[in-house]
């Protein structure tokens, strides 16, 4: 796999070493068990896979290249390059400006742009309409396009589904940048509809089976399908694609569900004419990070700390997995840890910030699961680990702990 040129300050003296050691031991990525960093009074269970993925490193490399190559020009990001505040803030501090927010609302009107300006397309991609608007201004949208190759693979799959006369079901968050970008392409290829989870999928499945009517369909899916989508005609042949940062297991569950719906409606002998197998649209990195989280949760621990941007979809799914088993604290950086007894964290389910006391249990040895989302730099995870270790004066030093892994 390609090695990307990303700034050194995104790397770390601890986490990066741990990853290198595990990579040497397990080059084929078959072992999803965590790495245990034993500092004595505190033990960290470090996920086998987490942090920057291929698509994120590709986006970072291209973005910094755009700044370096255009010192005399205005450089804009279409919206947040990735969902991590530290990465985006560093780009802003270097003079880059956002044209839109993550919901697609305009911050700087396109009318203020000129053909001499540089626009970076984020890792999520963007819609065909926005590409067309920028191209009309004379901006080369391909020169600094950081769209993740795995997102582009989903777009190609939607094109193939359309060619084969399938309607497209997108598993994604309706207003997420990536889903908007994917939807803009899929609706060009075929009738398209968005489902956010298995619950909405079941509503759609019940409609396909004739168990609910059009009114019930419209209550859930109004505004979430292509303009000329006709549910009485366009749900006879379907294929499922996904926002790549969704929970991989749920995407597979949704695909399996619609397969079974078609088996019920058309029978074992004919369902293949009504359902397309599209499992290859799952992102390997998202899947690996989630499998590594399952591996983490096989070990007993006192709590979990998940580090990442609060608007990061893939990070939120890791939080959800951890919350099912143990107390979980979703933080953006080490700054959220106020002291050994206090922590600020984010309740993703209710979208609110919380302040908790005594988050570290009072016991002889504390076991902490530590992981992050795909858009979080290792250096930020490193700072979290080191800050917690600093609260334990009798802890082993980092070199000793890392040396014990070799």
Given a cut of 90, whether residue 246 has pLDDT beyond it is no
Report how far residue 78's alpha carbon sits from residue 320's, in angstroms, rounded to the nearest whole number: 29
Q: Among candidates 191, 200, 196, 203, which has minimal Cα distance to 227?
A: 191
Q: Give the per-residue pLDDT at 373.
A: 86
Mean pLDDT of 142-157: 94
Residues 322 and 320: their CA atoms lie apart, in Å, by: 6
Cα 218 to Cα 203, 207, 334: the distances in Å are 10, 10, 45
Does 67 score more than 80 pLDDT? yes
pLDDT at 202 (0 to 100): 98
Can you list the positions of beta strands (E) in 270-316?
Answer: 275-276, 303-307
Query: Could you confirm whether 320 is annotated as catalytic?
Result: no
- Residue 300: per-residue pLDDT: 93
- Give the CA distances from residue 336 to residues 340, 343, 369, 383, in Å, rounded to whole numbers and listed in that order: 11, 6, 17, 11
pLDDT digit string (tens) for 195-243? 999 999 999 999 999 999 999 999 999 999 999 999 999 999 999 999 9
Q: Is the pLDDT of residue 369 over 90?
A: yes
pLDDT tens profile 311-352: 888 889 899 999 999 999 999 999 999 999 999 999 998 999
CA distances for 164 relative to 24, 150, 189, 274, angstroms: 43, 21, 10, 11
Contact 336, 11 (CB under 8 A): no
DSSP state at residue 342? E
pLDDT at 86 over 90: no
Task: Considering only residues 56 and 134, tell me which one the structure prediction assigns the higher pLDDT.
Answer: 134
Question: Partners of 344 in the beta sheet?
Answer: 355
The beta strands (E) that lie in 49-178 are given as 75-77, 97-98, 118-120, 167-171
Per-residue pLDDT tens digits for 162-207:
999 999 999 999 999 999 999 999 999 999 999 999 999 999 999 9
Structural domains in the chain? 8-53+285-403 (3.40.1010.20), 54-137 (3.40.50.11270), 149-281 (3.40.1010.20)
**What is the number of alpha carbons within 13 Å of residue 372 lying toward its C-beta?**
26
Residues 27-42 have a mean pLDDT of 92
Q: Predicted confidence band at 406 (pLDDT cuts at 50, 70, 90)?
A: low
DSSP letter assigned to residue 326? S
Catalytic residue among 57, 178, 187, 250: 178
Residues 6+ apart with CB under 8 A from 133: 110
Instruction: Using DSSP, state whether 367 is helix, strand or coil.
Output: strand
- The closest of 406, 371, 286, 392 to 15, measured between CA atoms, is 371
> What percent of the chain is predicted at pLDDT more than 70?
98
**pLDDT the model gives residue 1:** 54
Interval 12-29 mean pLDDT? 88
In the predicted model, what is the mean pLDDT of the chain? Answer: 92
DSSP state of 396: P
Within 26-53, where are the H helices? Answer: none
The confidence score (pLDDT) of residue 285 equals 73
Quick: pLDDT tens for 253-305.
Answer: 999 999 999 999 999 989 999 999 876 666 777 778 888 899 999 989 999 99
pLDDT of residue 2: 65
Phi, psi of 391, deg, nearest 5: -80, -5
In terms of Cα–Cα distance, which of 394, 390, 342, 371 is closest to 51?
371
Q: What DSSP assignment string belongs to 180-233?
A: HHHHHHHHHHS-EEEE-SHHHHHHHHHHHTTSS-HHHHHHHHTTSB-TT--TTT
């Amino acid at each position: 796999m390609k090695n990307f040129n990303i700034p050194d300050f995104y790397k770390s003296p601890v986490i990066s070493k741990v990853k290198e050691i595990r990579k040497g031991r397990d080059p084929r990525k078959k072992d999803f068990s965590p790495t245990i960093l034993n500092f004595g009074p505190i033990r960290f269970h470090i996920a086998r896979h987490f942090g920057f993925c291929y698509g994120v490193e590709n986006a970072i490399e291209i973005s910094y290249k755009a700044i370096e190559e255009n010192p005399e020009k205005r450089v804009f990001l279409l919206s947040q390059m990735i969902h991590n505040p530290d990465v985006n803030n560093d780009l802003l501090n270097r003079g880059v400006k956002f044209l839109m927010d993550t919901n697609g609302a305009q911050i700087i009107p396109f009318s203020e742009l000129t053909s001499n300006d540089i626009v970076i397309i984020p890792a999520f991609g963007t819609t065909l309409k926005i590409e067309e608007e920028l191209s009309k201004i004379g901006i080369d949208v391909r020169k600094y396009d950081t769209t993740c190759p795995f997102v582009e693979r989903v777009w190609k799959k939607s094109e193939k589904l359309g060619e084969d006369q399938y309607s497209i079901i997108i598993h994604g968050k309706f207003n997420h940048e990536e889903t908007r970008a994917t939807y803009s392409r899929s609706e060009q290829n075929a009738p398209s509809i968005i489902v956010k989870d298995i619950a909405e999928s079941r509503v759609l499945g019940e409609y396909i089976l004739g168990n609910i009517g059009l009114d019930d369909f419209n209550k859930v899916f109004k505004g979430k399908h292509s303009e000329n989508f006709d549910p009485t005609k366009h749900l006879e042949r379907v294929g499922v694609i996904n926002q790549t940062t969704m929970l991989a297991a749920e995407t597979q569950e949704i695909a399996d569900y619609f397969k079974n719906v078609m088996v019920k409606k058309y029978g074992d002998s004919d369902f293949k004419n009504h359902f397309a197998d599209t499992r290859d649209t799952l992102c390997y990195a998202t899947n690996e990070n989630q499998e590594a989280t399952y591996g983490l949760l096989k070990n007993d621990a006192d709590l979990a700390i998940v580090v990442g941007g609060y608007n990061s979809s893939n990070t939120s799914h890791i939080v959800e997995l951890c919350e099912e088993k143990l107390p979980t604290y979703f933080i953006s950086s080490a700054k959220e840890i106020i002291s050994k007894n206090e922590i600020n964290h984010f309740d993703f389910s209710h979208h609110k910030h919380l302040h908790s006391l005594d988050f570290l249990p009072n016991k002889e040895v504390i076991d902490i699961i530590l992981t992050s989302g795909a858009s979080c730099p290792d250096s930020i995870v490193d700072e979290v680990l080191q800050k917690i270790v600093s609260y334990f004066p009798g802890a082993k030093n980092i070199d000793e702990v890392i040396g014990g892994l070799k």
